[in-house]
Amino acid sequence: MSELKKIVLSDGSVISTKLDKDVYCGHFFSINKRYIINGKLDKSIKLSMWDDFSFEGYSYDKYNREVEDINFEFDVNDPLYFSLNRLLMYKNPLVIDDDETYGIMRKYMEIKKDNGIITIKMSNKTVNDKDYDFYHKWYIFIKNIGSDSRSKIEDDNIKYNLINFFRESEELLLSNYHQITMDEYLEIKKHDEKILRK
pLDDT tens across 98-130, in order?
999 999 999 999 999 999 999 999 999 998 888
> What distance separates the 2 farthest-apart alpha carbons in the chain?
52
Domain that holds residue 132: 2-197
CB atoms within 10 A of CB 13: 17
Average pLDDT over residues 75-94: 93
Output the pLDDT for position 99.
Answer: 96
pLDDT above 70 covers what percent of the chain? 98
For the entire predicted model, the pTM comes to 0.90
Q: How confident is the model at residue 192 (pLDDT cuts 50, 70, 90)?
A: confident
Please tell me the total count of domains within the chain: 1
Query: Which H helix or E strand runs over 67?
Result: none
pLDDT tens-place string over residues 128-169: 888 788 889 999 999 988 888 889 998 999 999 999 999 999
Residue 75 CA, distance from chain mean position: 13
- Amino acid 164 reads N
